[in-house]
Amino acid sequence: MFVFVLLPIAGFVVGRIGRSLKKQTNKAQVKWGEILSQMEETLTGLRIIKGFNAEQKVKKQFYGLIDDIFGIKNRISYRRDLASPISEFLGVTILSGVLWFGGNLVLNGDILSPGSFITYVALFSQIINPAKALSQAVYNVNRGTATLDRLNEILEAPVTVNDIANPMQLNEFKESISFENVGFSYQDDSILHNINLTVKKGKLVALVGSSGAGKSTLADLVPRFHDVSEGQLLIDGINIKNYSLHSLRKQISIVTQEPILFNDTIAANIALGKPEATEDEIIAAAKIANAYDFIIKKEGGFNSTIGDRGSKLSGGERQRLTIARAVLKNPPILILDEATSALDTESEKLVQDAINNMMQNRTSIVIAHRLSTIRHADEIIVMQKGKIVERGNHETLLAQNGYYQKLIEMQEVK
C-alpha cells in the first residue's frame, strides 16, 4: 500500500528535477552561443572598439554574459546536487516504510510468516539500486534531449534556397542572363521592383546608383543567394531555379563589396574556388590580379599567412587577392561589387587594371561606385530606390541630363 503511494511521488519528484535541468541546460547553451559570437565580434572589431573608446561598454556586455552563464551553471549544479540526496532519501523512506508495514504484518496477527518477510525485504533491497540508476538515467536523458533540441533547431531551420528535384546542369553559359519583371522583398520590406534587364554573353553591364538603391541585392539574385519574390530570372532562356545550385555557381565568380578572406596562407585564399589548382595556376592568377609583386615581397611568399580576415594586408592588397581568387576560378560570368573603401590613386590604379584584366572575354555585371571605372560599359543601369530609372551608355546617359549626370557631377566635385 505504502509503497504504491510513495513510488509515484518519487517518480514525480525525479521527473520535475529532470525537466527543470533540461530547461536550464537549454538556456546555458543559448548563452554560450552569445558569448562565442560576442568574442568573435570583439576580436575582429578590436581596432574600432579601441578607436571609439568603447572598451568599457564591450567589457560590461561581456561580464554581463559571463554573470548570466554563471547563474545558469549554478542552477544546474544545484539541481544535480539536489537530485542525488533526494533519491537516497526517497529510497531510505520507502525501505523504512516497507520494514514498518511488513513488521506490523508479522507481529500482529500472523498474516505474514517471518521467513517470507525476510525474503521479501531481501528482494526489495535488490530493487533499490536499479531504481536509483533509473532516476539518474532520467536526468541524463533530459540533458541529452536539451542538446538534441538545440541541434534540431539549427538542422531543421528552413532552407530558403534549394535545389528542385532532378535539377538541370548548367554546363555552359551560351547566350544571356535576363531579369523579367523581377521583384524582391526581405520579409515585408520590398527592395526591388519590376526589374527588366538582359545581359548578353560577353557584355559588360554596370549598375550605379545611390547607397541602398538595391544594387548588391540585384547582383545577389544571380548566384541565388536569394530567390526572386516576383517575376523570373533566366539564364539561356531557362529559369535559374531549374539548374542545380552547384552547377549554377560554378559558372560565376563573385568579388564582394567586403573582401572576404580567411586566416590561412595566401595560396589557400586564392585557391578557394579551385582547391586542386597547381602552383603555376595560382601564380598566373596573382599576376593577372596585380597581386604577384606584393606577394613575393612577403616573407613567406605565397605561403605566408594573412591573419584574421586578412588583417596583415592593406585594403588594396586584400581586394587584389579576392580578384586573383575570382580569376583562378575562371568562370564565364563575373559579378563584381566594387569596394567602397577609398584607395589611394596608385593602388586604385592597380586594382582597376586587375579588374580590367579579369573582365576580358567574360560576361560581367559590375557594381561601380567610382564612375570612371565603367565609362566603357556596354550598358549602364541607373538604380534609385529599387527601380531602374535610367539606362544607356555613358554618352547617351550624359545627354539625358538626369540622375547619371548628377552622379557624375557629384564625383567630379570630389
Ligand X SMILES: Nc1ncnc2c1ncn2[C@@H]1O[C@H](COP(=O)(O)OP(=O)(O)OP(=O)(O)O)[C@@H](O)[C@H]1O
- Let me know the angle formed at the C-alpha of 133 by 126 and 8, rounded to the nearest 5 degrees: 80
Three-state DSSP at 333 gives strand
186 or 262: CB nearest ligand X:
186
41 or 55: CB nearest ligand X:
41
DSSP string, 66-80: HHHHHHHHHHHHHHH
Which range, of 87-95, 205-213, 279-287, 391-399, touches ligand X by CB under 6 A?
Answer: 205-213
Q: Residues touching ligand X: how many (CB under 6 A)? A: 11
Residue 212 interacts with ligand X (CB under 6 A): yes or no: yes
**Residues in contact with ligand X, shown as a per-residue x/- string from 250 to 269 under the rule CB under 6 A:** -------x------------
Q: Residues touching Mg ion: how many (CB under 5 A)? A: 1
Phi-psi region of 125 (alpha: psi -120 to 50; beta: other; left: phi over 0): alpha
Smallest gap from Cβ 159 to ligand X, in A, equals 16
257 or 400: CB nearest ligand X:
257
Smallest gap from Cβ 389 to Mg ion, in A, equals 17
Which range, of 31-39, 169-177, 186-194, 216-224, touches Mg ion by CB under 5 A?
Answer: 216-224
**Residues in contact with Mg ion, shown as a per-residue x/- string from 54 to 93 under the rule CB under 5 A:** ----------------------------------------
Cell 593602388 -> residue: 347
188 or 395: CB nearest ligand X:
188
213 or 335: CB nearest ligand X:
213
The size of the chain, in residues, is: 414
Phi, psi values for residue 413, rounded to 5°: -60, -40
146 or 368: CB nearest ligand X:
368
Residue of the chain from 76, 83, 213, 233 that contacts ligand X (CB under 6 A)? 213
Alpha carbon 369 to chain centroid, angstroms: 27
**CA–CA gap between residue 376 and residue 354 (Å, rounded):** 16
Which range, of 185-193, 228-236, 288-296, 390-398, touches ligand X by CB under 6 A?
Answer: 185-193
Q: Which does 262 bind (CB under 5 to 8 A by kind): Mg ion, ligand X, none?
A: none
DSSP string, 214-270: SHHHHHHHTTTSS--SEEEEEETTEEGGGB-HHHHHHTEEEE-SS----SSBHHHHH
Q: How many CB atoms lie within 10 A of CB 379?
A: 19
Residue 189 interacts with ligand X (CB under 6 A): yes or no: yes
Q: Please check whether residue 225 is in contact with residue 200, taking contact to mean a CB–CB distance below 8 angstroms.
A: no
Smallest gap from Cβ 222 to Mg ion, in A, equals 14
Q: Please check whether residue 293 is in contact with residue 350, taking contact to mean a CB–CB distance below 8 angstroms.
A: no
- Which run of H or of E encompasses 44? helix 2-44
Residue 217 interacts with Mg ion (CB under 5 A): yes or no: no
Q: Please check whether residue 293 is in contact with residue 302, taking contact to mean a CB–CB distance below 8 angstroms.
A: no
Q: Which does 301 bind (CB under 5 to 8 A by kind): ligand X, Mg ion, none?
A: none
Residue 191 interacts with ligand X (CB under 6 A): yes or no: yes
Residue of the chain from 145, 185, 210, 216 that contacts Mg ion (CB under 5 A)? 216
Three-state DSSP at 184 gives strand
Smallest gap from Cβ 257 to Mg ion, in A, equals 5
Cell 580569376 -> residue: 327
Q: Which does 191 bind (CB under 5 to 8 A by kind): Mg ion, ligand X, none?
A: ligand X
Residue of the chain from 79, 215, 241, 250 that contacts ligand X (CB under 6 A)? 215
Q: CA–CA distance from 240 to each of 5, 18, 93, 223 (Å)?
A: 67, 50, 70, 9
Q: Which residues bind Mg ion (CB under 5 A)?
A: 216
